[in-house]
Amino acid sequence: GDWIYIVDVETGFVLYKVGSGTANFGSGNVTVNFASVPSEVSAIDVNNDGLLDYVYFGDLLGQLWRLDLRAIRVDSAAATTRWASKLQNNDGTALKPMLVFQAPQPAFPSFKFYPIYYRPTVVYLGVGSGGQPILGVAFGTGDRDDVLATCNPSTRATTYNQRYYFVVDQANSRTVTESTSGMLQIGSSTASATTTIPSVGWYLLLGTSSSTLGERVITDSLAINKYVYFFTQSPAGSNAGGACPPPSTCSIKNGVVRQYTMYYANGNALPPATDRAASVANASFATNPIFYVAADQSGNVAFTTNHGVFTPSKTNEPTRSNVKDWKEN
C-alpha cells in the first residue's frame, strides 16, 4: 500500500505511479520512501479553474505529502509498459511528491508511531511571496487498525500522546517537523489560549489525562468558517489474555468519545469554551462531521454515534451563511 497512482478512469491506463518523494530538512534534498498510505487523498483546486493544483496525503509514519500538479505534461516518449508513469513536470523533470511534514519517527527502544489514517483537510490562507498560495493542512494521528488498543499490550499506544496537526504549507521545498521554529505545541485540550498566529502551524497533544489515555483521531476533519471539527476516541479496554486475536481473550470496555472544535489559525477553542474538546455522552464511536445549510440559511454541523444523530450545541459559530454562487454541470 505504499504507492500513489493516477489512473485514467475510462481505460484503467496508469498515468502516474510513485512510491517515494523528496524531503528537505535544511541540508538539501533527500529521497524518502512512503510508508503505507491508508487514507483518501485531498485533491485541491486552489484558483477554481476546474483543474487540480495539489494533492495531499498522509502515511503510517506520520508523513504528510504534497503532489504539485500545476505544471505537468504527458511524456512525449512512447510508453514502454502499461504501468510506466506518463506524467512529468513541464520542464521535463520528474514529477515527485514533496514531504511537507514529518512526525517523530519510531526509534529504539520506544518505537512510537504516529500514523495518519484519515484524509487531510485543506484550507486556503491567502497568497505569499511570489504569488504562491498558502494553505493550511489539518490532520490527526492514531491507530485505527487496533482502535480499542486491546492487541499487543506491550506496544499499544496508550503510553504516549498522539497528535492533531495544523501545518502551514507555503508551497516551498522545506520539510517541517515538530521542532521547526514557529511550530506551536498545545499541551492539552484545556491549555491556555494563545494571542499569536504561529507562522509554521501548531499541534495538539492528545490523551493527556488519565481518562483519555490512548486518545486518537477516529474521523475525517471538517473545516468551516475559521474552525476545524473532528472526533477522537480514548479506548478504555484492557487485555486479559495476551495478544489478540483468539485464542487469546480480550475484554473491552466502552471508551470516551470527544468532539473537538478549534480555531485553525492558532488552535484556540471555540468561544466561549475554554476546553477545545467536549465529551459525547453515551457514545463509543462517532462518524465524520458534516456541514449543511438549513432552510433558514443557518450553518450547522451534524454527526452520528451509536446512539443517534446529533448537532453540536449552538454557539456563535458557524454563523448564518448565504449562498454566494453556484454552478450546474
Supply the pTM of this predicted model.
0.88
* DSSP calls for 140-170: E---STTTT--S-TTT-TTSS--EEEEEEE-
Residue 324 has pLDDT above 70, yes or no: no
pLDDT of residue 283: 83
Selection from 221, 224, 220 nearest residue 321 by Cα: 224
pLDDT band of 234, cuts 50, 70, 90:
confident
Residues 6+ apart with CB under 8 A from 221: 118, 120, 121, 138, 139, 140, 228, 229, 230, 289
**Per-residue pLDDT tens digits for 69-111:** 998 888 877 667 766 778 888 888 889 999 999 999 998 887 8
pLDDT band of 213, cuts 50, 70, 90:
confident
Q: How big, in percent rounded to 5, are the helix, strand and coil portions of the chain?
A: 0, 35, 60
**Strand duo 201-205 + 183-186: pairing:** parallel
| Average pLDDT rounded to a whole number, residues 293-312 | 81
**Per-residue pLDDT tens digits for 279-298:** 988 888 899 999 888 877 77
Q: Which of 55-59, 73-77, 174-178, 234-238 has the lowest mean pLDDT?
A: 234-238
pLDDT of residue 276: 96
